Amino acid sequence: DSGVTQTPKHLITATGQRVTLRCSPRSGDLSVYWYQQSLDQGLQFLIQYYNGEERAKGNILERFSAQQFPDLHSELNLSSLELGDSALYFCASSVAPLYTGELFFGEGSRLTVL
């Protein structure tokens, strides 16, 4: 158990819909990262937050947004969903912004868009 909690574990929705994925980082971790894992693309970095502030952005679509709240949990919002958004979405956390490179990953939220 990494200590990172993600909900929901599975989500099935239709194209055009909007979903919110939730992440609680490990106790004491201030940095939260979101990754997308598709079959052919490996782990794609989406966005990073540190203590409530956005720190880095990767290949995140404009239809996607995220935030980190004062209690340090984070939410990833995916809107106007397309079939290609079907993927496993991972949240990860670390104490500080990757000073050692070690990330603690949650079990992921599997999104299926029909």
Q: Site residues (CB under 8 A) for another protein?
A: 2, 4, 33, 35, 40-45, 48, 50, 55-56, 58-59, 90, 92, 97-103, 105-108
* Residue 38 vs 80, nearer CB to another protein: 38
* Residue 1 vs 62, nearer CB to another protein: 1
**Which amino acid is present at 71?**
D
**Could you tell me the smallest distance in angstroms from the CB atom of residue 68 to another protein?**
14
Question: How does strand 109-113 pair with strand 10-13?
Answer: parallel
Contacts of 85 (CB under 8 A, 6+ apart): 78, 111, 113
Question: Length of the chain, please?
Answer: 114
Whether the Cβ atoms of residue 4 and residue 103 lie closer than 8 Å to each other: no
* Residue 45 vs 79, nearer CB to another protein: 45
